[in-house]
């Protein structure tokens, strides 16, 4: 037996995947990018007044009185059981043909992504992501020991031609092909862009040809403020290649974090098996009870009004204050605007000055699997009030101008 240094405690017993990733950033570290005096454009949180406190309290009362012996029991009662049917109805509204047997309920989308990784990935497997992408997912892929590479995103979403080129060149040099391609097709985090329908079709053709799973993550799809819906990838999925993840974190509240995965029946049975025993049945019953009588649809309509107002305010403020050499995305929904600062700007290095000036944001580098994104930042319009958004963008523009010594906004 090897002699261990006693000060090492039990660290030497850590799994290799933990040892290999111990020094990496912790998801949630970005919460420290906060200052009480600065406009909070860093957080992708729902705005506090959006929370349905009274309705959730009423649903709690109703659940406890209608199922007093089962609502808090292991497994839960009828409402907890009913959540899968609710997901099926919602999915059908978006053109996805599924059944209760193809729905696996999870403790949120983040956990759902983890379940998908536990089901499909071995350490060393290749995962392709949009570059930039949701940093929470990047962390999960890394924790599973995956080799993560990025494919660019433009105004029409994932650049599927660039993905095709990547797959062809892997085939030509005998390199491993990805097992999983992760995408956020609607109102992507962090860019706010939506994938064009023809790209969605092409992506599914590539999945069939090169034999990979498409992991579709769609937390913002129902938060559309203009334009017409695109079909979810799962709705186009004739070959059962798509595993679709969703959550109520953005449409009800993160505090009742409940999510689900829609996949084929065989895969769903494995999700059920490997996750068995961890479910908070009361929260599931509560979500189902809350969503009855069209309450969720009414809530989503109200949320869209609140977020649209904030988005409009951010876009108008950017137009008024930013120097002409900055550009930004114009999302039709979701929570985020992606800004490209003028040449020579390093968004990470500029952040302390921006906070002093009165605004927080997340530097673009947080969202890349490699070292991309230096000139970019994610601005979230979901959390701050419209007037704080105005103040924040004005402060940001001032900081950028000071940094690059340019004068004058787009409007003078």
Ligand X SMILES: Cc1ncc(COP(=O)(O)O)c(C=O)c1O
Residues that bind ligand X (CB under 6 A): 44, 108-110, 134, 136, 184, 189, 217, 219, 247, 249, 254, 257, 259
Least separation in angstroms between CB 184 and ligand X: 5
Strand 376-380 with 362-363, pairing: antiparallel
Q: Which residues lie closer than 8 Å to 288 by C-beta, 6 or more apart?
A: 79, 80, 82, 83, 86
Q: Which two tokens stand for residue 171?
A: 């085939």
Least separation in angstroms between CB 44 and ligand X: 6
CB-CB contact of 260 with 234 (8 Å):
no
Least separation in angstroms between CB 339 and ligand X: 17
Least separation in angstroms between CB 133 and ligand X: 8
Which CB sits closer to ligand X, 109 or 359? 109
Least separation in angstroms between CB 21 and ligand X: 19
Least separation in angstroms between CB 272 and ligand X: 19
Which CB sits closer to ligand X, 184 or 347? 184
110: number of Cβ within 10 Å: 21
Residue 214: beta bridge partners?
181, 242
Least separation in angstroms between CB 136 and ligand X: 6
Which CB sits closer to ligand X, 250 or 403? 250
Which CB sits closer to ligand X, 134 or 282? 134
The separation between the first and the last C-alpha atoms of the chain, rounded to the nearest angstrom, is 74
The residue with tokens 């059908």 is 92
Which CB sits closer to ligand X, 105 or 207? 105
Q: Which two tokens stand for residue 223?
A: 């938060």
Which CB sits closer to ligand X, 125 or 217? 217
Which CB sits closer to ligand X, 191 or 317? 191
Least separation in angstroms between CB 192 and ligand X: 11
Q: Reduced to 3 states, what is the DSSP secondary structure of residue 376?
A: strand
Rounded to an integer, what is the distance from CA 73 to the centroid of its chain? 31
Q: Which residues lie closer than 8 Å to 83 by C-beta, 6 or more apart?
A: 105, 258, 260, 284, 285, 287, 288
Q: Can you tell me the distance from the alpha carbon of 286 to that of 109, in angstroms, rounded to the nearest whole number?
A: 18
Which CB sits closer to ligand X, 77 or 259? 259
Closest-CA residue to 379 (of 335, 334, 320): 335
Task: State the Cα torsion 28-33-39-45 to the nearest 10°.
Answer: 0
Which CB sits closer to ligand X, 102 or 249? 249
Give the DSSP per-residue string, 281-327: HHHHHHHHHHHGGGHHHHHHHHHHHHHHHHHHHHHHHHHHHS-TT-E
Least separation in angstroms between CB 164 and ligand X: 24
CB-CB contact of 335 with 314 (8 Å):
no
């Amino acid at each position: 037996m090897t002699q261990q240094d006693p000060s090492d405690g039990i660290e030497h017993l850590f799994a290799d995947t933990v040892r290999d990733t111990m020094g990496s950033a912790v998801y949630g570290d970005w919460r420290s990018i906060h200052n009480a005096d600065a406009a909070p454009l860093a957080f992708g949180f729902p705005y506090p007044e959006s929370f349905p406190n009274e309705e959730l309290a009423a649903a709690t009362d109703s659940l406890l009185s209608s199922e007093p012996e089962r609502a808090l029991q292991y497994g839960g009662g009828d409402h907890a059981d009913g959540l899968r049917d609710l997901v099926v109805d919602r999915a059908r509204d978006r053109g996805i043909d599924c059944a209760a047997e193809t729905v696996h309920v999870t403790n949120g989308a983040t956990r759902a992504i983890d379940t998908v990784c536990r089901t499909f990935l071995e350490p060393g497997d290749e995962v392709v992501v949009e570059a930039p992408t949701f940093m929470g997912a990047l962390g999960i892929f890394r924790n599973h020991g995956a080799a993560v590479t990025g494919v660019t995103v433009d105004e029409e979403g994932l650049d599927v031609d660039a993905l095709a080129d990547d797959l062809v060149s892997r085939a030509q040099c005998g390199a491993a092909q990805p097992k999983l391609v992760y995408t956020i097709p609607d109102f992507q985090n962090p860019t706010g862009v939506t994938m064009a329908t023809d790209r969605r079709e092409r992506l599914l053709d590539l999945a069939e040809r090169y034999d990979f799973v498409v992991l579709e993550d769609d937390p913002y799809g129902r938060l559309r403020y203009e334009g017409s819906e695109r079909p979810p990838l799962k709705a186009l999925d004739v070959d059962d290649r798509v595993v679709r993840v969703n959550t109520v974190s953005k449409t009800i509240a993160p505090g009742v974090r409940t999510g689900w995965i829609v996949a084929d029946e065989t895969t769903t049975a494995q999700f059920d098996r490997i996750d068995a025993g961890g479910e908070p049945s009361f929260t599931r019953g509560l979500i189902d009870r809350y969503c009855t009588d069209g309450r969720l649809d009414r809530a989503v309509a109200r949320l869209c009004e609140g977020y649209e107002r904030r988005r409009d305010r951010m876009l108008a403020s950017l137009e008024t204050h930013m120097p002409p050499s900055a550009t930004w995305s114009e999302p039709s929904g979701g929570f985020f605007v992606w800004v490209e600062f003028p040449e020579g700007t390093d968004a990470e290095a500029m952040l302390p000055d921006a906070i002093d000036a009165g605004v927080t944001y997340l530097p673009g580098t947080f969202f890349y699997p490699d070292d991309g994104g230096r000139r970019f930042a994610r601005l979230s319009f979901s959390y701050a009030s419209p007037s704080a958004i105005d103040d924040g963008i004005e402060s940001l523009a001032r900081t950028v101008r000071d940094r690059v010594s340019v004068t004058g906004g787009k409007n003078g």
